[in-house]
Structure formats: structure tokens, C-alpha cells
């Protein structure tokens, strides 16, 4: 069974607090009739701070779509390699052991995908498959995990690297003053995350079953309007209520695996906002504390889009309370409205087995592993 190993997550050095967010919103959007409601909604998110790739004064400026995309390219190339190297080390592998790279991001656009640059600059094999996912938004992290599981099942002994690079601050639009846009300005943060799904071996969550679901006729509820000034985030007020129809889908996934969704040992849920987490815990009849890793991510980093589920998993690893066989669920939600979900068991690999690298004829991987 494929195993999702310990992620590596990095957030940028520039920090903006909720208090600063509220002050900037008042200054930039002062006098707008919808501002008081937006300020209340931002306060209710519970996001205490977020990390962004530029100083706040630079982030508030709009230098144009071309320049923003240039910043996205330079910052992603600057920040991804270190995170990837740590994720590979966490999985006791090297770049030569990776058979596919799934790169997810909805906050910038590159063609060729950053996967091509990673292969050329970080020592990945030239026959490494490239699987970029650009349009699933916050659901893409969980989707990447599901696609990695399927790849490993289709190609036994394979390893898949997942990379999430979300620089949400580069999508700020100073002229957008609808409530949904203003709320997003106080909710989203920047982060880079990576994790390896090993086809065999490894400690982490062994992925046993996954599913996808799209709520009918909701494709306009979360969307981008692509204009001369770039990506304009659009959020329908009905989005927070989507956990009511999605909770039965999660319940059915667990039941199809012979499990009761109320009795799992851990849950890694996309932290889209407090209403999402509160409603899902209510509809699944779960204690709010079972989503503690998602809550912590939301409070300390904001909604970091597709990177949320990997950051929640990192916190689960750091907590170090699980024993082999513990059951759990991952769920990500995004545009569509799309849900990507998986269930599996916690696996602790104590063998320190290097036979995979030897069998695959990669002595460089074994050397690196033993160093």
C-alpha cells in the first residue's frame, strides 16, 4: 500500500497580523458600505497571523499581472527546492528515486510547469512523469494525494513527490471591494509544502481508499475571474454551508471501507474557514478538538489553500501520539464545489529497509540514505 510520509512545510518571512489586516482594510477600502461587514467576517475567521512573500506595503501595491507572475516564478524557484529536499529526506529517498512529481498551485501560472525546472535543476531523472494541477484550488492538495496513491498502485514500487506552492498574497486586488474579496484578503496566506508518497515502506498514513465528489451546479461559487490585472477571487456567500451536503459523502467513504466516520483516530481537514470546520464537526458528530491540527493551521497561517492538508499532517507527525494501525481521513474542498477524500491507517516503518533503492539499481540513493 502507498504511504504518505512526513511533509515539509515552509512559510515566508513576512508576517501580517489580524490587527494589521483590519487597519490596512480600513485604509485601502475606507468608506465602502460593505467594509463593516467584511471587517466583522475577518475578525471571525480566527486567523491571528499570516505569512506573505513580500513586505505588506509591496503586497498592497499592484504592479501589473506580468510583474506579479514574474514574482511568482522567482519566489517559487527560490522557496521550493529546500522544502523538497527536506520532504525527500523525511521519506529516506533522493530525487533519483522519484517517478512522478505532482505540482499543485492556483496562485500563479507557468508553462512549462515548474516540474520541468525542478527536474532540470534538482537531479530528478529525465523520465520522471510531470503532473501539474492548476485549477482545483484548495482541493488540490488532497487531490494530489489521491492521484499519487493511484499512480503508485498502477506502477508498483514507484514513489511520487507532491509539491504545493501557494502564494496567495500575489492575487490581492486593491480595486475589488465585494464582501467575498475583502474577506479573502484577511483569510489567505502563503506557504510551500511537499511530501512523498512511497509505493513501499515509509512511516506515515498508508492510503487505502479515496474518492471524489462534486456538488452539482455549484461551479460558480468559488472561482477566478481572469482579467487584465490577473486573478480575481470570487466567493459566493453559500460556500460556508457546503459541509451539510458533503458530510454524508465523507460518512459514505468511511462506511464503504467498513469504518464509522465518528470513530477514526485522526482527521486532516482543509481549513477553509471556521464555519467549514465547525459545521463539518457538527454534521459528522465529532468533537471540535478532533480537527485541532486544521484549527491550528488556520489560526497561525490562515488558509494556505492546497498546502493546508500537508501542514495539518505535519502537525500530526509533530504531535507523535499515533501508534501503528490508527485510522484516519484526509479531506480537501475547493472550486467545483469539489471534495477530494481518502482514508487509511497509520504505519510505522521500523525496518530501515534500503532494499528498495538497491533493487531499483540506484546506488546513489543508497549512499545518500546512509550518510
Instruction: Report d(CA 14, CA 43) in Å as an integer.
Output: 20
- With cell 501539474, the residue in question is 132
DSSP code of 137? G
N- to C-terminal Cα distance for the chain?
Answer: 27
Cell of 356: 528498495
Closest CA to 38 of 169, 184, 170: 184
Contact assessment for residue 194 and residue 90, using Cβ atoms and an 8 Å cutoff = no
Question: What DSSP line would sit under 223-286, residue for residue?
Answer: EEEEETTEEEEEE-TTGGGGHHHHHHHHHHHHHHTT--GGG-SEEEE--S-HHHHHHHHHHTT-
**Catalytic, out of 106, 138, 165, 168:** 138
Active site residue 106: no
Q: Burial-class residue 371 by CB neighbours within 10 Å (0-12, 13-18, 19+).
A: exposed
**Residues designated as active site:** 138
Amino acid at each position: 500500500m502507498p504511504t504518505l510520509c512526513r511533509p515539509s512545510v515552509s512559510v515566508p518571512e513576512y508576517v501580517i497580523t489580524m490587527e494589521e489586516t483590519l487597519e490596512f482594510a480600513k485604509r485601502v477600502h475606507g468608506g465602502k458600505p460593505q467594509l463593516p461587514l467584511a471587517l466583522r467576517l475577518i475578525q471571525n475567521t480566527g486567523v491571528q497571523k499570516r505569512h506573505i512573500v513580500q513586505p505588506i506595503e509591496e503586497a498592497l501595491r499592484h504592479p501589473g499581472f506580468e510583474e506579479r507572475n514574474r514574482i511568482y516564478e522567482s519566489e517559487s524557484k527560490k522557496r521550493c527546492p529546500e522544502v523538497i529536499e527536506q520532504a525527500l529526506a523525511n521519506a529516506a529517498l533522493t530525487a533519483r528515486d522519484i517517478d512522478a512529481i505532482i505540482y499543485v498551485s492556483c496562485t500563479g501560472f507557468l508553462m512549462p510547469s515548474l516540474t520541468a525546472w525542478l527536474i532540470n535543476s534538482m537531479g530528478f531523472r529525465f523520465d520522471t512523469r510531470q503532473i501539474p494541477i492548476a485549477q482545483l484550488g484548495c482541493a488540490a492538495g488532497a487531490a494530489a494525494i489521491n492521484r499519487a496513491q493511484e499512480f503508485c498502485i498502477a506502477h508498483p514500487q514507484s514513489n511520487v513527490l507532491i509539491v504545493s506552492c501557494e502564494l496567495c498574497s500575489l492575487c490581492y486586488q486593491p480595486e475589488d471591494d465585494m464582501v467575498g474579496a475583502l474577506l479573502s484578503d484577511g483569510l489567505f496566506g502563503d506557504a510551500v509544502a511537499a511530501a512523498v508518497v512511497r509505493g513501499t515502506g515509509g512511516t506515515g498514513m498508508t492510503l487505502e481508499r479515496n474518492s471524489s465528489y462534486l456538488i452539482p451546479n455549484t461551479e460558480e461559487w468559488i472561482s477566478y475571474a481572469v482579467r487584465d490585472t490577473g486573478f480575481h477571487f470570487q466567493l459566493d456567500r453559500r460556500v460556508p454551508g457546503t459541509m451539510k451536503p458533503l458530510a454524508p459523502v465523507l460518512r459514505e467513504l468511511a462506511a464503504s471501507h467498513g469504518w464509522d466516520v465518528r470513530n477514526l483516530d485522526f482527521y486532516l481537514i482543509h481549513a477553509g474557514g471556521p464555519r467549514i470546520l465547525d459545521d463539518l464537526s457538527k454534521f459528522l458528530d465529532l468533537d471540535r478538538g478532533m480537527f485541532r491540527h486544521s484549527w491550528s493551521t488556520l489560526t497561525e497561517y490562515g488558509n494556505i489553500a492546497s498546502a493546508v492538508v500537508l501542514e495539518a499532517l505535519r502537525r500530526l507527525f509533530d504531535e507523535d501520539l499515533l501508534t501503528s494501525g490508527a485510522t484516519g481521513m484526509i479531506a480537501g474542498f475547493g472550486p467545483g464545489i469539489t471534495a477530494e477524500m481518502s482514508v487509511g491507517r497509520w504505519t510505522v516503518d521500523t525496518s530501515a529497509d534500503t532494499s528498495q533503492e538497491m533493487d531499483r539499481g540506484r546506488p546513489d540513493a543508497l549512499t545518500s540514505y546512509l550518510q
